[in-house]
A and B are shown apart, each in its own frame.
Chain A
């Protein structure tokens, strides 16, 4: 059993990698690509006044979106992996993980322009802090270097974008259109000969040269800035992150799920904000489903073919076939709207506006009026969303229970029990029901991961800020980090749940063995 579980656990790693890779490729291949999220200003109106090319170059560099997809994916894996290789990252006093500054690529085709890349002078001795430097001194020194480097790097990125554009236009001007991207920049794979042709052109040559000179000058500044920052970083101004296993080669650290592009907040915070709301709804809904569906399934099985069996079966299937969007709209119109309907229930959110000021429990205000209190208010707000989550769930579970019970009714031990003269109530509850529990337990295990995903429609219509809302918005905005983190977490929980189900099988049913 132990080896089996270990093997299953180890197999999870490649499965998760494959799954996230798939999600990653899907996002990268979707129209608009990964960076699309950064450019959406919402709705059908765009505000005039920003220069796209600059913004894009800046942001792509900032989020590392200019690297090839494979590199981006490997970087992401490195961040989320709990096992880290190489020297450990640092943790700033504000809890930020600080990594060694990324290298900078020189401008494309620098060789064609003659001359060499600017050299970085290596300092003779490594940078070191004064022995007496306090933590504050160190972090100030790091900040100064980091700020300086960010500035020169941003300038270089802009200059490089300008250079690629200029050469792209020059290529077009001399008729080498096939080396030009749709957006007017030169293609990464442009052969050197094409660039040389531009340089030889009397008109375009000097223009391209000037753009290149600008870019290379900024490049020199940028690598110098990087060297300075790297030196400060290597002097280790902050404590290292994680737990070492082998010094400087292997360590363990908490996975970093990254920052959401579209919202500019850490993915982990977004999830911890959204998850409780979804869990709250589902923890209400699932017991209701079970408490209604399982007993009625049992009842239907004992009176097979009877009126209750037919009616409950029919009703559940009818409910099951109502589309959830329609159900939500009907509920809003008839139960929540005060003009067209009854107006008994609130329309949106999980709390009233007054909710925050309410006492926690129901109470009576000094002037004698009844105050719902926060708990009751929340329950009241949850009525409609929970109803929407619940109504379609009865059919499957009650049919499952009914079928399992019927199977057992025909078993030999039931006939024996009947022959012994056991009361039929005891047969149903003690013998048949217990033996029918197995599929119901395993079903619960598979429901649990779905709970994390949340229901998109219900959360959207009733304005519940839960996981469903988070994911659907992330999909609309191609918010890569949020989607990957979600895929990772839900995948992990799913696989753990399946493993748990298999283990439970073995425990519950002696006939199953994994050895």
Chain B
């Protein structure tokens, strides 16, 4: 007898294994069904309790009293300022029950109801439901408010959270969002805000004054929370006092133009949800997806043990308890594809509804008729676009050697050497707009009278000669009176083909007038230390903004030179310092804009940066996305609705 492991045994063994695996898989399947069942149950319970709560609210509402409040207000002659388009006085929007929360003698302002600029429910053929899918280029590590550090985190935050106020998408004026009405001290030292009675978080709890205070003082300014990025931004507020359940008062450190936008800007989190989490700061700092707010969208599962974490897609679902205009789509899904080619392939395969395009993709698809049949190519300028520039080192590089650019004539000459129109034409494919200063031309901050410097190498040569840079030994390179050659390095982030082509062009243009320009590509992670050490002659990148009116102090004031401030070009101008301080102190909008216009002229004359272009937003969207409006604020996802697939489907084949 010989025991032998033959083919038969093998087949048997494989069969047994297969049965085992199948049994395991079936068990897994049962688990999944069970999980989904549970999730559905939970959702049903939530809807049920939400309904009950609303019923109770309806029952307890006393319409008579509210109406009385309005008439009382009208007869008492209180000035109610409304500056929103069609805001104040729209039906069903009582401004306020009574005004007993106010400080006497100070004007009460309001912008009426918070409403979408283009409500999707106004479209006749509008359909609700569906999932809008957007592609991100990078993976956001976390979306927990005040812990996120990138633009993706902010985009999620914009959907899930609300501040007291928000910029109007079209006019870019600050409007009350959670705030119903407010009083702002004419001297700019305090702000008293009445929160809307209707405003509530996605769990149904009302937004209270205590939430507003707690978010600022116990979350953002809690040193155990890693919110240092936000602590250094929201620094205008001295203290916050809770006056009553719905009334809160801010006290500011000094009268500053952006006091209001700071108090209105930070997003409010529900204290009752976040307080237990913040109790264990280490776990909170580590969290990835603890986002619960009052916004029109919400995350489905949010708890310490069960939260969104990378690399899952981020799915925001409609907040059915939202107090304002409800969005039309059921959910938004954000997925991440970091490889450019894969992103475009996935998009054109119908994998998503919107992707960010670069200039080359945009222009090549612009000629592709079959692509244009199925997709919209969108291209517009908005406040988040920002501008690109070349910064000239006006102080000593590395704290050692002064660069030629400390001389304003040299800087002006450099601007005139570089043909910015050509850069825009050849590299940005005519999609960008000329920039003349740090204020975007669409904002009131910009001085409309300023024309960009012309491209004029001859005049540039004259200016350089005036500054002492002449070709003294006939080698086609300029020298100063000490015989030093005019050489400089231009620092740029590697990885972008467009930037590489631009700096190569600049090198050529400089050679044409006798300046040696060397290229110095760097890794983005090194940028911060190069800026901190002021270790560059010239540098090019782009600034972006998140508010329509920017505070020029951070980048341009001479006080931002020390302490590794953001004035990394070390440009000090008494005129600019004076205007910046004056502008920051001026509370009146019109007067302040005049100051900013003057400041803009100073930038133009001094050319601390050579302003290259304003950067547009380029987006591909599928035809099924409707009511997508290209606002000067950016995009408002709440307004989108999705046409049913069929007639103009996202899916080819």
Contacting residues, chain A, for B28 (C-beta < 8 A): 360
Asked whether A359 is an interface residue with its Cβ less than 8 Å from the other chain, the reply is yes
The answer to whether residues A36 and B526 also contact, given A44-B499, A47-B546 and a CB cut-off of 8 A, is yes
Are A347 and B351 also in contact (CB < 8 A) when A32-B528, A463-B338 are? yes
Contact across chains for A52 and B345 when beta carbons are under 8 A apart: no
Q: Is B243 an interface residue (CB 8 A)?
A: no
Are B285 and A264 neighbours in the complex by a CB distance under 8 Å? yes
Contact between A361 and B29, CB atoms less than 8 A apart: yes
CA–CA, A52 and B232, complex, Å: 9
Nearest-neighbour CB distance to chain A for B442, whole angstroms, equals: 17
A56 CB within 8 Å of chain B? yes
A39 to B564, CA, bound (A): 13
B205 within 8 A of A: no
Q: Is A483 an interface residue (CB 8 A)?
A: no
Interface: B288 (CB within 8 A): yes
Render B303-321 as a binary contact track against A, CB cut-off 8 A, 1 for contact. Answer: 0000001110100000000
Known contacts: A266-B286, A343-B349, A361-B29. The answer to whether A461 contacts B342 by CB under 8 A is yes
With contacts A50-B233, A177-B399, A343-B349 known, is A45 near B523, CB below 8 A?
Answer: no
* A337→B342 CA distance, assembly (Å): 9
Does B376 interact with chain A (Cβ within 8 Å)?
no
Q: Which B-chain residue is minimally distant from A475 (CB atoms)?
A: B525
Produce 1/0 per residue, B272-305, CB < 8 A to A: 0000000111110110100000000000000000
Task: Please tell me if the beta carbons of B29 and A265 are within 8 angstroms of each other in the complex.
Answer: no
Please give the distance in Å from A173's CB to the nearest CB on chain B. 12
Determine whether the beta carbon of B566 is less than 8 Å from that of A172: no
**Inter-chain contact B563/A264, CB cutoff 8 Å:** no
Looking at B208-216, B410-418, B537-545, the stretch in contact with chain A turns out to be: B537-545
Determine if B129 is an interface residue (Cβ-Cβ < 8 Å): no
| Chain B residues within an 8 Å CB radius of A309 | none
Contact A347 B346 (CB under 8 A): yes
Q: Counting CB contacts under 8 A, is B535 at the interface? A: yes
B572 CB, min distance to chain A CBs, angstroms: 14
Q: Judging by beta carbons under 8 Å apart, are A40 and B345 in contact?
A: no
B568: min CB distance to chain A, Å? 9
- Contact B532–A40 (Cβ < 8 Å): no
Contact of A81 with B by CB under 8 A? no
| Shortest Cβ distance from B279 into A: residue | A143
Assembly CA distance A92 to B26 (angstroms)? 39
Contact for A375 among B25, B151, B531, B542, CB less than 8 A: B25
Work out how many contacts link A and B, with CB atoms closer than 8 A: 236
A182 touches B534 (CB 8 A): yes
Segment of B223-231, B249-257, B421-429, B636-644 engaged in the interface with chain A:
B223-231
Q: Is residue B386 contacting chain A, with contact meaning CB distance below 8 A?
A: yes
Contact of B337 among A41, A56, A165, A463 (CB under 8 A): A463
1/0 per position for A219-243, CB-CB distance to B under 8 A?
0000000000000000000000000
- Say which residue of B309, B333, B345, B349 sits within 8 Å of A273 (CB atoms): B309
B534 pairs with A52, CB closer than 8 A: no
CB proximity of A515 to chain B, nearest CB, Å:
33
Q: Does any Cβ of A come within 8 Å of B75's Cβ?
A: no
Any chain A CB within 8 A of the CB of B476? no
Partner among A182, A184, A269, A348 whose Cβ is within 8 Å of the Cβ of B346: A348
Within 8 A of B (CB), among A144-173: 146-147, 150-151, 153-154, 161-162, 165, 169, 172
> Inside 8 A of A477's CB, which chain B residues have their CB?
525
Q: Which of B280, B399, B543 contacts A172 (CB 8 A)?
A: B399
Bound Cα distance A359, B33 (Å): 8
Encode B376-406 as 1/0 by CB contact (under 8 A) with A: 0000000000100000000000111000000
Indicate whether A33 sits within 8 Å of B529 (C-beta atoms), given known contacts A52-B564, A361-B25, A463-B336. Answer: yes
Given contacts A32-B525, A182-B533, contact A96 B138 (CB under 8 A): no
- B341 near A329 with CB under 8 A, answer yes
B493 within 8 A of A: yes
Q: Can you list, as one digit per residue, whether each of A464-488 has a CB less than 8 Å from chain B (1) or not (0)?
A: 0100010001001110000000000
Between B29, B147, B336, B546, the greatest number of chain A beta carbons within 10 A of the residue's beta carbon is seen for B29
Within 8 A of B (CB), among A327-386: 329, 332-333, 336-339, 343, 347-349, 353, 357, 359-361, 374-375
* One of A52, A59, A180, A265 near B565 (C-beta < 8 A): A52
Question: Chain B 515-536, CB within 8 Å of chain A: the 1/0 string?
Answer: 0000000111111110111110
Does B345 contact A347, Cβ atoms closer than 8 Å? Answer: yes
Contact of B224 among A59, A96, A150 (CB under 8 A): A150
Interface centre among A31, A146, A463 (most CB of B within 10 A): A463
Closest residue of B by beta carbon distance from A55:
B228
Instruction: Specify which of A162, A273, A375 is in contact with B311 (CB 8 Å cutoff).
Output: A273
- Give the shortest distance, in Å, between B242 (CB) and chain A (any CB): 21
B171 within 8 A of A: no
B83 interface residue, CB < 8 Å from A? no
B513 CB within 8 Å of chain A: no
Report yes or no: A476 in contact with B541, Cβ–Cβ below 8 A. Answer: no
Interface centre among A42, A49, A181, A259 (most CB of B within 10 A): A49
Is A37 a contact of B285 with CB atoms below 8 Å?
A: no
- Chain A: minimal CB distance from B140 (Å): 9
Q: Which residues of B contact A343 (CB under 8 A)?
A: 349, 653
B562 within 8 A of A: yes
Bound CA–CA A463/B335 (angstroms): 10
B550 within 8 A of A: yes
B554 within 8 A of A: yes
Q: How far is the CA of A494 from the CA of B482 in the complex (A)?
A: 61
Q: Which of A200-216 contact B (CB under 8 A)?
A: none
In the complex, B555 has a CB within 8 A of chain A:
yes
Tell me the complex Cα distance, A165–B496, Å: 35
Q: How far is the CA of A461 from the CA of B341 in the complex (A)?
A: 8
- Given A44-B496, A48-B544, A347-B342: A162 touches B563 (CB 8 Å cut-off): yes
Interface contact B399-A348, CB-CB below 8 Å = no
CB 8 Å contact bits of B107-151 with A (1 = contact, 0 = none): 000000000000000000000000101000111011000010111
Instruction: Report the bound CA distance from A359 to B279 in whole Å.
Output: 39
Residues in chain B near residue A473, CB distance under 8 A: 139
- Complex Cα–Cα for A375 and B370 (A): 35
Distance in Å from the Cβ of B583 to the closest Cβ of chain A? 16
Q: Does B588 contact A (CB under 8 A)?
A: no
A183/B280 contact (C-beta < 8 A), A45-B541, A347-B342, A360-B32 known: no
Q: Hey, which chain B residues are within 8 Å of A375, CB to CB?
A: 25
Given contacts A43-B524, A348-B342, contact A339 B348 (CB under 8 A): yes
**Residue pair B226, A62 in contact (C-beta under 8 Å):** yes
Residue from B350, B528, B550, B565 in contact with A51 in the complex, judged by beta carbons closer than 8 Å: B565
Least Cβ–Cβ distance between A277 and chain B, in angstroms: 9
B652 in the interface, Cβ–Cβ < 8 Å? yes
* In the bound complex, CA of A339 to CA of B28 (Å): 37
Q: Which of A40, A169, A333 contacts B562 (CB 8 A)?
A: A169
* Interface pair A262/B141, CB less than 8 Å apart: yes
Chain B residue at smallest Cβ distance from A466:
B311
Chain A nearest CB from B367 CB (Å) reads 14
Nearest Cβ distance between residue B353 and chain A, in whole angstroms? 12
Kindly identify, within residues 324 to 360 of chain B, every residue whose CB is under 8 Å from any CB belonging to chain A. Answer: 333, 335-339, 341-342, 345-346, 348-351
Q: Are A52 and B223 in contact (CB under 8 A)?
A: no
Q: Is the CB of A338 within 8 A of B348?
A: yes
Closest 5 CB pairs of A and B: A360-B29, A39-B528, A465-B311, A263-B141, A182-B533
Q: Could you write out 9 A-B pairs with CB less than 8 Å apart? A: A46-B544, A151-B223, A264-B147, A339-B349, A348-B335, A349-B335, A353-B313, A461-B339, A463-B337
Q: Which residues of B contact A (CB under 8 A)?
A: 25-26, 28-29, 32-33, 36, 131, 133, 137-139, 141-142, 147, 149-151, 222-224, 226, 228-229, 232-233, 279-283, 285-286, 288, 309-311, 313, 333, 335-339, 341-342, 345-346, 348-351, 370-371, 386, 398-400, 493, 496, 499, 522-529, 531-535, 541-546, 550-551, 554-555, 562-566, 652-653
**Additional pairs, 10, CB under 8 Å, beyond known A36-B526, A332-B341, A460-B339:** A42-B138, A47-B545, A48-B545, A48-B555, A55-B229, A55-B232, A94-B282, A264-B285, A337-B348, A374-B32
